[in-house]
Amino acid sequence: MPTRRRSHTAHVRLATRTASRRASELLLLALAAAVVVSMLVLRPQPVAAQDAGGERCRCAAPVLPTRWSLFLSTGGALTQTDGLNALLGAANYFAVSDDLISVGGGAFTSWGPLRLGVEHVRMDAGEESTPAGRHARLEAHYTVATVGWDFRPRGRLSLAPALGVGRGLVTLGVGDRAGGAAAPTAPAPTFAEVLATPGRTSALRGSHWVFEPMLAAELLVLRRADARRGITVGVRGGYRLAPNRADWTYRGVAVTGTPLDQASGPVLRLTIGVGGR
């Protein structure tokens, strides 16, 4: 009877997480569609504006293409956690979520249609804890240099496909309320051994390369038609790729028996900042 109850609980938890993932995907798509539609339906009366190079642009007076920006971002992302959750489940932890909330910031500047920038993103999947006192938390961050090409450098909507390349770090924090001795670093432990004896708290960290193709859309909103600087609003959607498995360490020592998951998945971020034309 206890075995049947545990099996039923596991199935309910799996169904709940599957529904949560589908809801998150729908939310990301809805946010992207809402932002893009809102950009396209802004219809101020167009006037002829002259840029710094002497070329004229038939742009809406208060809403112009963004040529540079310093911005903050927030949004969501999905990542692979199946292999990690299998190891956590074997060590009597609850599964961690594959939905992550992201916050970050960045900047870009343009030379003609060419756009160069940098962006830093931090993500958090939250913490899961069992009634027995074992807890696990999944976090990640990465920094990428970006290069893009603006398809509409003098249109009302700046639309640029871009590619980000950089390094990322995944951190799995685990612990046991009962405390006890944590896994030693000599000899080098396996991933499962760290999970089995985490002590009060332990951290496993996995570094990896990041490739992030994306589509970025920005608007520059000005208070006056002759202003050169204003507020930028935008949206960035894409897919984060980690072509290789993460190199996991524990207290600076490489561990074996690591999960096969890659830090890959769709991303969506909304941005707001300051910029100019």
pLDDT at position 276: 86
CA distances from 185 to 121, 181, 198, 247, 252 (A): 30, 12, 12, 16, 9
How confident is the model at residue 246, as a pLDDT?
A: 92
Residue 126 has pLDDT above 60, yes or no: yes
Longest CA span, the chain: 80
Q: Given a cut of 90, is residue 47 above it in pLDDT?
A: no
pLDDT score at 48: 45
Residue 31 has pLDDT above 60, yes or no: no
pLDDT at residue 5, rounded to an integer: 41
Structure confidence at residue 151 as a pLDDT band (50, 70, 90):
confident
Bridge partners, 8 (sequence order) = none
Q: Look-up: residue for tokens 């009302």?
A: 156
In order, the DSSP letters of 66-99 are: -SEEEEEEEEEEE---HHHHHHHHHTT-PPPPSE
Q: Would you list the domain boundaries of the chain? A: 2-43+60-276
Q: What pLDDT was estimated at residue 29? A: 55
pLDDT at 61 over 70: no
Q: Are 277 and 232 in contact (CB under 8 A)?
A: no
Q: pLDDT tens across 204-232, in order?
A: 999 999 999 999 999 888 888 777 888 99
Is residue 244 a contact partner of residue 272, using CB atoms and an 8 Å limit?
Answer: no
Give the strand pairing for 68-78 and 229-240: unpaired
Question: What per-residue confidence (pLDDT) applies to 43?
Answer: 44
pLDDT for the residue 2: 43
Q: How far is CA 9 from CA 85, 96, 100, 232, in A?
A: 16, 16, 24, 47
pLDDT of 9 reads 44
Inform me whether the pLDDT recorded for 248 exceeds 80. yes
Domain 2-43+60-276, second-level architecture = Beta Barrel (2.40)
Residue owning tokens 């949004």: 75
The residue that leads in pLDDT, 2 or 199, is 199
Q: In this predicted structure, what is the pLDDT of residue 112? A: 84
Q: Which residues, including other chains, have CB under 8 Å from residue 18's CB and lie 6 or more apart?
A: none
Higher-confidence position of 11 and 130: 130
